[in-house]
Chains A and B, each alone.
Chain A
């Protein structure tokens, strides 16, 4: 199956700075989701944005979606050491069940 692409593959920033990750996808979608994975653990759902939405907020997270460019971004504001993790985007494509996963962005927050 096709995969989304995240950019950058890795990002290292100082605590307190903002972190931005991007996701591009190839097919039309109903929604796009972002997940976080701490090292050696399962994925945790962060936020879901529907194709008719342009922006969504959840705490320090801000997600934007541009369906004309088939891209999304995840902004984490005022980063903390606990935000160190890998972040994945996933789209539903044309399936009712399967998600199409990106390869992930590894985020490191330096104290």
Chain B
């Protein structure tokens, strides 16, 4: 079974901090994704990556950046955290286009 591991289930940070969310997958998948999920807004794509060092903006990239130095690891960075970035963050991996996405358990991030 594919395993996608997110580094923290719960995280509390302060406004203005630089925040790192880490995601690791163990199935040698090409594609990885970062979403945020908010009540009433569904899943919104922040960034995705289709290869090492490659990244593409999703629907809501503002205030975020990503890093994919190794195939198995995809990091989401909040450059200067703000309260409106309080959310559930979900990482997913995918073997290839059109294939199912496999999700981690999510990180519930609170920015105070």
Once the chains bind, are B50 and A43 in contact (CB under 8 Å)? no
Given known pairs A1-B59, A40-B108, A97-B50, the reply for A102 and B103 (CB within 8 Å) is: no
Within 8 A of B (CB), among A6-43: 30-31, 33, 40-43
Once the chains bind, are B103 and A42 in contact (CB under 8 Å)? yes
Once the chains bind, are A43 and B42 in contact (CB under 8 Å)? no
Task: Give chain B nearest CB distance to A46 CB in angstroms.
Answer: 9
The 8 A CB mask of B85-112 against A (1 = contact, 0 = none) is 0000010101001101111111010000
Interface range on chain B (Cβ under 8 Å from partner): 20 to 34
Once the chains bind, are B90 and A97 in contact (CB under 8 Å)? no
Once the chains bind, are A40 and B98 in contact (CB under 8 Å)? no
Once the chains bind, are A88 and B43 in contact (CB under 8 Å)? yes
Task: Write the chain A residue with the least CB distance to B10.
Answer: A40
Within 8 A of A (CB), among B47-104: 48, 50, 56, 58-59, 90, 92, 94, 97-98, 100-104
Once the chains bind, are A42 and B100 in contact (CB under 8 Å)? no
B31 interface residue, CB < 8 Å from A? yes
Q: Is the interface of B mostly helix, strand, loop or mixed?
A: strand
Once the chains bind, are B98 and A96 in contact (CB under 8 Å)? yes
Once the chains bind, are B98 and A92 in contact (CB under 8 Å)? yes
Q: Which residues of B contact A1 (CB under 8 A)?
A: 45, 59
B21 interface residue, CB < 8 Å from A? no
Q: Which residues of B contact A102 (CB under 8 A)?
A: 42
A78 interface residue, CB < 8 Å from B? no
Cα separation A30 to B94 with both chains bound (whole Å)? 16
B24 interface residue, CB < 8 Å from A? no
A110 interface residue, CB < 8 Å from B? no
- Add 7 more A-B contacts to A42-B104, A97-B94 (CB < 8 A): A1-B45, A30-B98, A31-B98, A41-B106, A48-B100, A88-B42, A102-B42
Which 6 pairs between the two chains have the least Cβ-Cβ distance? A42-B103, A96-B97, A45-B100, A101-B43, A43-B103, A103-B42
